[in-house]
Amino acid sequence: MTNEQMCKELKDLIQLDIDAIRAYQHAIDNIKDYSIKSRLTEFQQDHRRHVTDLSPIVTRYGDQPPRDRPDVKGFLIEGMTALRSNMGTEQALKAMQSNERLTNKNYGQAVSMPWPQDVETVIQRCAADERRHLEYIDQCLQTRPWESSGAHA
């Protein structure tokens, strides 16, 4: 893979993480259950760390990382998440489930690419975070813990 190809792939991942940070904020703002809100806040921090970890790699390989603003796809993700999150915890989690499926797909594809070892290690760590995020959200949607906590909205 050329430096240009690596930078393009990394920039796409960074942009996805930037968009995820914004989407998570809408879900966090609208979920009343403290334990779910707390976990989503942790996941949002993971996405921030991904941006922080991947951006210097892009610079090292000769390009500039994306700015901290959504692209067209990001506006759509953020808008859909905001709309669904306003309908309560279940819908906020379903929106985030869709978003995490997308990030899992993209990081899953990235893991299979031929990266230098140091870059591969970072991408694998990010991909593991994404799998953990989706597993938690899937579990919440199955077990519906907000119903027993009294935070029904």
The count of structural domains within the chain is 1
User: Does residue 42 lie in a domain region?
Assistant: yes
Q: How far apart are CA 93 and CA 116, in angstroms?
A: 35
**Quick one: pLDDT at residue 7?**
97
Quick one: pLDDT at residue 88? 77
Q: Is residue 49 part of a domain?
A: yes
User: Is the model's pLDDT at 66 over the cut of 60?
Assistant: yes
pLDDT of residue 26: 86
Q: Specify if 151 maps to a domain.
A: no
Q: What is the mean pLDDT of residues 97-124?
A: 95
Residue 153 placed within a domain? no
Look at 31 and 137; give whichever has higher pLDDT. 137
Tens digit of pLDDT for each residue in 74-110?
A: 545 555 565 455 557 888 899 899 999 999 999 999 9
In the block, which residue shows the tokens 């989407």?
23
What range defines the domain where residue 134 resides? 3-144
Is residue 82 a part of any domain in this protein?
A: yes
**What is the predicted pLDDT for the residue at 75?**
47
In a domain, 124, yes or no: yes
Task: Tell whether the torsion through CA atoms of 117, 119, 120 and 126 is positive or negative.
Answer: positive
Look at residue 34 and tell me if it is in a domain: yes
* pLDDT tier at 147, thresholds 50, 70, 90: confident
Q: What is the pTM of this model?
A: 0.88
pLDDT level of residue 73 (50, 70, 90 thresholds): low
Phi/psi-derived region of residue 150, left when phi > 0, alpha when psi is between -120 and 50, beta in every other case: left
pLDDT > 70 fraction of the chain, expressed in percent and rounded: 84
> Which tokens belong to 62?
């000769």
150 lies in some domain: no
Query: Which CATH number do you get for residue 39?
Result: 1.20.1260.10
